[in-house]
Amino acid sequence: EAGVVQSPRYKIIEKKQPVAFWCNPISGHNTLYWYLQNLGQGPELLIRYENEEAVDDSQLPKDRFSAERLKGVDSTLKIQPAELGDSAVYLCASSQRATRDEQFFGPGTRLTVL
Amino acid sequence: GENVEQHPSTLSVQEGDSAVIKCTYSDSASNYFPWYKQELGKGPQLIIDIRSNVGEKKDQRIAVTLNKTAKHFSLHITETQPEDSAVYFCAASIGLGGGADGLTFGKGTHLIIQP
């Protein structure tokens, strides 16, 4: 079974530029999460989806961050415009309804903003 | 909201010895406590978890204990091996009955296994 897929793995951009990250969860997983991981820290939740509905986006900085999961499968997280402080690893995770506590993480996208 | 504290930040042990990592949490409603292992350049990998109706759980060389009264839980690794070297994260959430909530993570422990 394939795990959570994320792309790109690495992205370098200049500040004020837009950037987007893509995530494909494990097949059959209804719940999808985006986390932010700063260097030397644990992941922090940005947004949680149940199918196509964002049920918890309280930690998402909505002035510059947006996310979508249009068909309830893959998801895109966007930053526009990027700031220097956005440099971090962006992790996607998914879980299934039956054992929904268990979250499985993708490899992450490492973003560097210059 | 939930706050998870994790200690120590770095732990160095001799190969074959045991390692213990401790976490405390603040929200008494939390009832799901997973542990993740993260290797360089990879995403966190679930290694063991425990729910609040259980005090201890073991899987080969790894065990987790939970004290709900004191709001702390610990990861125990016995007979450590070089491949155990990684960063370990504890986490907490209001799982199952409260919905598939996002996890609140500790800041991580860098475990170093000395040969």
Per-residue pLDDT of B2-27, as tens digits, reads 899 999 999 999 999 999 999 999 99
Burial of B70 (0-12, 13-18, 19+ CB in 10 A): exposed
Among A55, A101, A102, most B C-beta atoms within 10 A, so best to mutate, is: A101
B10 contact A CB<8A = no
pLDDT, tens digit (0-9, with 9 covering 90-100), for B26-61: 999 898 999 999 999 999 999 999 988 779 999 999
Cis peptide before B8 (omega within 30 of 0): yes
Please give the Cα distance from B78 to A49 (Å, whole number). Answer: 37
Question: Hey, CA dihedral for B53, B55, B58, B63, is it positive or negative?
Answer: positive
Residue in A42, A100, A107 nearest the CB of B107: A42
Phi-psi region of A44 (alpha: psi -120 to 50; beta: other; left: phi over 0): beta
Question: What pLDDT is attached to residue B99?
Answer: 47
Give me the pLDDT at residue B5, please. Answer: 97
Contacts of A57 in chain B (CB under 8 A): none
